[in-house]
């Protein structure tokens, strides 16, 4: 993915204003929708007749969160960075799903998943986990979606705020992916899977990342 990074601004994805509206969200909306969807999944589990104890619900929930961590890596590496010539229309699809974020990494309205796409994303996974795990799949799905929310909150913070001391390596890891090599560093909320699958970017480029970001920001300031 060879994209000219723009520090400021926002792309227009659709000419249709309704479709364009549903490509944007806010931190408040994302937090609210994630909490509601996660809670509804738990409620659905009991509605379907689950007889699990609170401890069992928590364990299934945590299992879903861990599963998200792995899925996050796979999704980012193989779908979000799919080859632009993989099939007819893949270039447009890739740009809508993720390429626009690489072009405008600081666009806060598109760092998080809007509510409608999030609901459409939840339904098939809820069904899948119900088929695989039975009624407990509802609790697993709840944790899976909350895992997504934690990931999205970290991702949002990386692009909006200065790194807290403890999380600085994670911040640098994602900025290397954006500014140095987008074929490495696919983990956002964790670097574990990059270590496992040997896609860790070299740490020696950390200082270069800071230099590239400063240069890009300076160019944007001049252009403005």
Which range has the worst mean pLDDT, 67-76, 100-109, 120-129, 135-144? 100-109
How many angstroms separate the CA atoms of 187 and 52, rounded?
33
pTM over 0.85: yes
User: Using one digit for the tens of pLDDT, what is the confidence trace for 24-39?
Assistant: 999 999 999 999 999 9
User: Using one digit for the tens of pLDDT, what is the confidence trace for 9-20?
Assistant: 889 999 999 999
Grouping H, G, I as helix, E, B as strand and the rest as coil, residue 123 is helix
* Whole-Å CA distances, 38 to 41, 122, 206: 5, 9, 36
Which range has the worst mean pLDDT, 71-80, 141-150, 173-182? 173-182
Per-residue pLDDT band at 207 (split at 50, 70, 90): low
- Mean pLDDT, residues 169-178 taken together: 92
Domain residue extents for the chain: 26-97+110-161, 162-224
Handedness of CA 207, 213, 216, 219 (dihedral sign): negative
Is pLDDT above 70 for 52?
yes
Dig out the tokens for 34 from the structure: 């994630």
Q: What pLDDT score was predicted for residue 201? A: 87
Q: What pLDDT score was predicted for residue 1? A: 61
Dig out the tokens for 127 from the structure: 């069904």
Q: Where are the alpha helices (DSSP H) in the chain?
A: 17-21, 27-47, 54-74, 90-94, 100-103, 115-133, 137-160, 168-179, 192-196, 206-223
Which residues have CB under 8 Å from 65's CB, separation 6+?
Answer: 143, 144, 146, 147, 150
Q: What pLDDT score was predicted for residue 224? A: 45
Q: DSSP secondary structure string, 31-60?
A: HHHHHHHHHHHHHHHHHTT----HHHHHHH
Neighbours of 163 (CB within 10 A): 15
């Amino acid at each position: 993915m060879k994209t000219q990074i723009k520090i400021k601004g926002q792309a227009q994805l659709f000419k249709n204003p309704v479709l364009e509206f549903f490509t944007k969200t806010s931190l408040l909306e994302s937090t609210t929708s994630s909490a509601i969807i996660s809670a509804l999944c738990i409620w659905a589990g009991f509605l379907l007749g689950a007889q699990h104890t609170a401890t069992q619900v928590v364990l299934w929930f945590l299992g879903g969160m861990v599963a998200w961590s792995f899925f996050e890596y796979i999704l980012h590496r193989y779908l979000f960075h799919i080859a632009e010539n993989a099939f007819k229309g893949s270039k447009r699809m890739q740009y809508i799903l993720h390429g626009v974020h690489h072009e405008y990494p600081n666009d806060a309205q598109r760092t998080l998943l809007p509510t409608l796409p999030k609901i459409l994303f939840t339904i098939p996974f809820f069904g899948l986990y119900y088929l695989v795990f039975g009624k407990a799949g509802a609790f697993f799905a709840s944790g899976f979606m909350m895992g997504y929310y934690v990931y999205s909150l970290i991702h949002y913070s990386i692009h909006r705020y200065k790194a807290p001391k403890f999380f600085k390596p994670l911040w640098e890891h994602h900025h290397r992916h954006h500014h140095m090599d987008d074929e490495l560093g696919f983990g956002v909320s964790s670097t574990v899977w990059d270590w496992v699958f040997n896609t860790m970017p070299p740490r020696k480029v950390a200082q270069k990342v800071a230099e590239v970001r400063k240069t890009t920001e300076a160019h944007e300031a001049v252009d403005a």
